Amino acid sequence: MNTLLTILTALSASLFAAAGTLLLVRRGSFLGERVLGVGLVNCVLLLAVNTWVAQAPPLGNMRHVLCVLPLMLAPVWLYLKRRGVQVGSGMAGVATVALIGALCMPLQAGWRQVPALQSAWFVPHVTSYVAAYAMLALSALYAVGAWGEHRLDRLAAAHMLARLAFPFLTLGLCSGALWADAAWGRYWAWDIKEVWSLITWLTYLIYFHTLESSAGKQRALLLLGFAAVLVTFLIVNMAPLAVDSLHSYAR
């Protein structure tokens, strides 16, 4: 089973890498989009196997979350494509990095939900954050690319993605507080994970209040916001400091 999970993860990463290359060479490539679709189907199979092995929604550790992240971008890709915004190559890039990251994480095939995760808030809280982080990663990618000939188009795509992500970011923060009250008897504990989640939310809130500023300032705030996402999702979870965190079970 461990071998199957590794093969499915590596295959998904390879398919997304191939799709991204094809879509970079030719924007809107028919073959590239088909390979991207096959990668998503393979991710669905990976999700099913992870669910069967874990005997629960596989969202409780970083490897599981990174394996789910590409699926969160599929509806966004289709929605933006209908609006004439092509983000297939960027989506494939984000998915590839996420799955390579998953391969670097402990397999934890025998993972089971700890008591703190056995809550009705578990799935909505985690999926809302994963969806938000996936879109914000893609937004940051387009913000980085917002130079040169297509600068304004890429910045507009980055803004659209951030706008789509913010309600999910807000839902994640609010549902986390409600879950904390049910699990620990208080809505907020100033845990390091909570603090950085709030910093991330506030950074994007500031961004949305500075849309009349220069393109450079908007781009800087989008990248600063994503830096806060990386601290919240990766550094806080992986650093030794997280051992004392109320969220240390989610590593």
- Enter the pTM of the model: 0.90
Residues 130 and 249 in one domain: yes
Kindly provide the b/e burial profile for residues 146-171, where b requires at least 16 CB atoms within 10 angstroms of the residue's own CB: beeeeeeebbebbbbbbebbbebbeb
Inside any domain, residue 77:
no
pLDDT in the model for residue 244: 60
pLDDT at 183: 78
pLDDT computed for residue 73 by the predictor: 94
Q: Are residues 175 and 122 in the same domain?
A: yes
Q: How far apart are CA 150 and CA 196, in angstroms?
A: 33
Which residue stretches of the chain have pLDDT < 50?
none
* Residue-level pLDDT at 185: 84
List phi, psi (to 5°) of 86.
Answer: -90, 110
Tell me what pLDDT residue 1 has. Answer: 75
Residue 204 inside a domain? The answer is: yes
Q: Structural domain of residue 199, as residue ranges? A: 114-251
* Total tally of structural domains belonging to the chain: 2
The pLDDT of residue 116: 65
pLDDT at 243: 52
pLDDT for res 249: 52
Q: What angle do CA 34, 74, 98 make, to 5 degrees?
A: 95
Do the Cβ atoms of 96 and 20 come closer than 8 Å? yes
The pLDDT value recorded for residue 196 is 93
